[in-house]
Amino acid sequence: MTESDNIVAETAERIFADLADAQTINSGKDGAWKAPLWYALEQAGLPLSWVPEDCDGSGASLAEGFAVLSAAGRFALAVPLAETMLAGWLLAQARIAAPSDTMTVAPAHPKDRITLNADGSLVGRARGVPFAKGARHIAVLAHGADGVAIALVAIAACRIEPGLNLADDPSDTVILNNVTPLALKPAPAGFDQNALMLMGAVARSLQIAGALESMLDVSVGYSNERVAFEKKISKFQAVQHNLAKLAGETSAALAAASSAADAFAHAESFDDALFLEAAAAKIRCAEAAEKGAAIAHQVHGAIGFTQEHILHRFTLRALAWRDDFGSESHWAVELGKLVATRGADELWPLVASR
Amino acid sequence: MTAALRFDPIRLPPECEVLRQEVRAFLAEEIAAGTFDPHKPQREDSDAPEFSRRVGERGWLGMTWPKQYGGHERSFLERYVVTEEMRVANAPTRRFFVADRQSGPVLLKYAPEHIKMDILPRICRGEVCFSIGMSEPNSGSDLFAAKTKATRTDGGFLINGSKIWTTSAHIADYMIAIFRTSPPTKENRRHGLTQFLVDMKSPGIKVNPIAQITGQYEFNEVVFEDVFVPDDHMLGEIDGAWKQATSELAYERSGPERFLETYYVLTELVRALGPNPDIRGAEGIGRLVAQLHTMRRMSVSVAGMLQAGKEPVVEASIVKDIGTIWEQQLPHRVRELAAFVDPDASNHATLDDQLPFAIKTAPKLTIQGGTTEVLRGIIARGLGLR
Ligand SMILES: Cc1cc2nc3c(=O)[nH]c(=O)nc-3n(C[C@H](O)[C@H](O)[C@H](O)COP(=O)(O)OP(=O)(O)OC[C@H]3O[C@@H](n4cnc5c(N)ncnc54)[C@H](O)[C@@H]3O)c2cc1C
């Protein structure tokens, strides 16, 4: 998944650089940047990257879409691009055509369950749904008597209890009170809520890794400008070592996330190896976000603690994304159980199979 | 972007999987024959010379080297697989590992042809053991403070001084060492060191073993008194060892041996916790496995870059930095997670046996092969900070 041979990601990167520059957004404060950005993304077909062409989407490969998410992470993008892409991907699993506007996906929390009633309506509650308020549609995974189903639902038909994540982006509770979906089809064999959570976890891992790349970049840049005790702070060994550690955490996140994305892009089924890749990526990226954000702030001193400075756009989103589609604690327990069930002597063969 | 870090998701090609099965079968035979006990990382390596020869017979030494020197012209990724399977099995690799990883490649690059023709095939056959003479009593991290002298004499050099912490010097046939051939210059304090191949059977060499806190003997003090080294045993450029030493680092620093030294306690933790661990145990295993998997993906990625002819110095240093910290913390995390397991349960015994050794081993992991602090200096340079 190299950026250079990926035109889709290059297009995304160019749009982000033109219309989602962190400095401009941070000084703007009013959200006026959002409409032109989304318009440009739609014109380029990016929100429906993962929707096949015969379902009115762009038909990009999984790998191309994943590279878009890495770039979105590098810009700490605060519009529902990842969410719309995930919703389109979920709908495509059941070959439901995707509408062209902002979407999100539910559930986003592994413990939430949405039920499909016998009459075809949906009931349930989904917490921590990113960008639900403001989106037009929501792709829903539901459990019915006959198995798992995928549905397209109008947000207007749901009750939304608004909430905010750490970075003040919408993270809402969506209540489905016997809502009749706009479209409803059974999920393909083997596709379940775990599959949705793992795909969401990979998306968030790529975004976190991207945000860490920018934290490293901004921090190295700052250390080369800021002068204290008559020299650049980058010349102090303690600062250098902090930045080396930040580079290490960034590298770990990049390696884990891109490996998991690659595993998804080539997967034929949801097996133990894919589970290891996706769960490990979310766990390790979340750990990297915690350590990395602390170092980035440390290097910046007080200026990084202000609203004026762009650093928080990256650190707070990376920290917030830890909670979506299963936190690192959730996946660690699940991965630990899997390893324990397979038994001690099967651990190395599992790890070495990747 | 100030730092473009790359960790592409390299996958091992299918021939590596075939090879992996061959190595596993070989190791299973060796274990069955009693050559070594995979549950005894603290063993003494009494049978290792024969084991080395059998590894050589299989074609698993000098794997990437040219055939004319006994090598097998296989890929770094294939070598990677052999290394990790040996490490995970706790196989006795001490006799051949340094020669295979480090000394052979140095000879390939810098030794005269007749020496290459003599020594490299013997390394490939598993017959020779190498040691590395870098550190001295007042020169560890600061390599360029080395004082042990090589003075010109008829047809060669005379060595006087001492090396310390020299792993395997007591069993080694050769040492590749740096000695001072001239004083540092004002402009370049790294100048004046030269790399040599030393035959450990040369008169005037005394090897004094140094006991480690684990109770093992691995490293030594080596004293040189008028030891003669012939001209053709000088490696590379006179006074220029610093250039040579730094280019080896990517190979030395990113391999699977840099995060798997205490791996065995993780396996035994999983065994001790059993198929239904409580939530604390499950979470602990899950995090450690996620970290291990990530380390390995990073390490394979660097191996792929080396295979592609790149020089990923920063990436390789990062792998060693976070790899050694991980393997150092691992025994302590395992100890915490095992605290609530019934000590009478039979599946606890191996862990009880291994954990103390792993905890005692841990302190050296961030020191050997360059300390964490020195590595972070290299990473900082790569980030453009110095
Ligand atoms: C098990 C083991 C096997 C070894 N095998 C070999 C071998 O085969 N051959 C060989 O040549 N050597 C070997 N060594 C030696 C090893 O390479 C050195 O121990 C290491 O380079 C550190 O040097 P030192 O011990 O002199 O510590 P020092 O250099 O005295 O360092 C002490 C502490 O100060 C820190 N420090 C030093 N300088 C700086 C700096 N500029 N900035 C920040 N911190 C600094 C170090 O990081 C360290 O924490 C081995 C060591 C061990 C533990």
Please state whether B353 falls in left (phi above 0), alpha (psi between -120 and 50) or beta. alpha
Question: Per-residue pLDDT for B44 more than 70?
Answer: no
Question: Per-residue pLDDT for B248 more than 70?
Answer: no
The model's pLDDT over B173-223, given as tens digits with 9 standing for 90+, comes to 999 999 999 999 999 999 999 999 999 999 999 999 999 999 999 999 999
Q: CA-nearest residue of chain B to A347?
A: B267
- Identify the H or E element spanning A240: helix A237-266
Which three-class secondary structure state does DSSP give residue B209? Answer: strand
Q: Which of A66, A206, A259 to mutate to test the interface with B (most CBs of B within 10 A)?
A: A259
> Strands B234-235 and B217-230: what pairing?
unpaired
Sign of the CA dihedral with A318 first, then A323, A329, and A334 last: negative
B3:A220 CB<8 A? yes
- Beta-bridge partners for B158: B151, B228
Cis-peptide into A107, omega within 30 deg: yes
Residues of A in contact with B7 (CB under 8 A): 251, 254-255, 258
The answer for B 273-302 residues in CB contact with A (under 8 A) is 273-277, 279, 281-287, 289-298, 301
Percent of chain B with pLDDT over 90: 85
CATH code assigned to B14-128: 1.10.540.10
B284:A348 CB<8 A? no
Q: For the residues of B266-291, what is the DSSP string, one character each?
A: HHHHHHHH-SS--HHHHHHHHHHHHH
Q: Report how far residue A228's alpha carbon sits from residue A259's, in angstroms, rounded to the nearest whole number.
A: 40
The mean predicted confidence, pLDDT, of chain B is 94
Q: Where in chain B is the domain with CATH 1.10.540.10?
A: 14-128
CA atoms within 13 A on the CB side of B329: 11
B141: CB partners within 8 A, 6+ apart: B370, B371, B373, B374
Q: Where in chain B is the domain with CATH 1.20.140.10?
A: 254-383
Question: Per-residue pLDDT for B2 more than 70?
Answer: no
Q: Report how far residue A285's alpha carbon sits from residue A234's, in angstroms, rounded to the nearest whole number.
A: 26
Q: CA-nearest residue of chain B to A278?
A: B290
The answer for B 99-138 residues in CB contact with A (under 8 A) is none
Q: Which of B268, B273, B301 sits opposite A340 (nearest CB)?
A: B273
Give A92→chain B minimum CA distance, Å. 26
Question: Per-residue pLDDT for B337 more than 70?
Answer: yes
Q: Where in chain B is the domain with CATH 2.40.110.10?
A: 132-240
At B42, is the pLDDT very low, low, confident or very high (cuts 50, 70, 90)? confident
**How far, in Å, is the centroid of ligand 1 from the Cα of B133?**
13
The model's pLDDT over B278-298, given as tens digits with 9 standing for 90+, comes to 999 999 999 999 999 999 999
Residue A89: DSSP 8-state: H
At B45, is the pLDDT very low, low, confident or very high (cuts 50, 70, 90)? low
The model's pLDDT over A101-137, given as tens digits with 9 standing for 90+, comes to 999 999 999 999 999 999 999 999 999 999 999 999 9
A255:B297 CB<8 A? yes
The model's pLDDT over A74-107, given as tens digits with 9 standing for 90+, comes to 999 999 999 999 999 999 999 999 999 999 999 9
Q: Does the domain spanning B132-240 belong to CATH 2.40.110.10?
A: yes
At B346, is the pLDDT very low, low, confident or very high (cuts 50, 70, 90)? confident
* Domain B254-383 architecture: Up-down Bundle (1.20)
Contact (CB, 8 A) for A280 and A256: yes
Question: Per-residue pLDDT for A1 more than 50?
Answer: no
**Identity of the residue numbered B340:** F
Ligand 1, residue B364: give the atom nearest the CA: 53
CA atoms within 13 A on the CB side of B92: 25
> Residue holding tokens 């957004």?
A25
CA distances B193 to B163, B180, B235, B374, Å, are 14, 5, 11, 20
Identify the structural domains of chain A with CATH numbers, from first to last: 1-77 (no CATH), 102-190 (2.40.110.10), 193-353 (1.20.140.10)
Give me the pLDDT at residue A3, please. 45
At A2, is the pLDDT very low, low, confident or very high (cuts 50, 70, 90)? very low
The answer for B 232-271 residues in CB contact with A (under 8 A) is 263, 266-268, 270-271
| pTM of the shown model | 0.97
Residues of A in contact with B84 (CB under 8 A): 352
The answer for B 19-78 residues in CB contact with A (under 8 A) is 20
**How far, in Å, is the centroid of ligand 1 from the Cα of A250?**
26
B9:A259 CB<8 A? yes
Give me the pLDDT at residue B383, please. 95
A7: CB partners within 8 A, 6+ apart: none
The model's pLDDT over B323-334, given as tens digits with 9 standing for 90+, comes to 999 999 999 999
Contact (CB, 8 A) for A158 and A113: no
Question: Per-residue pLDDT for A4 more than 80?
Answer: no
Give me the pLDDT at residue B265, please. 97
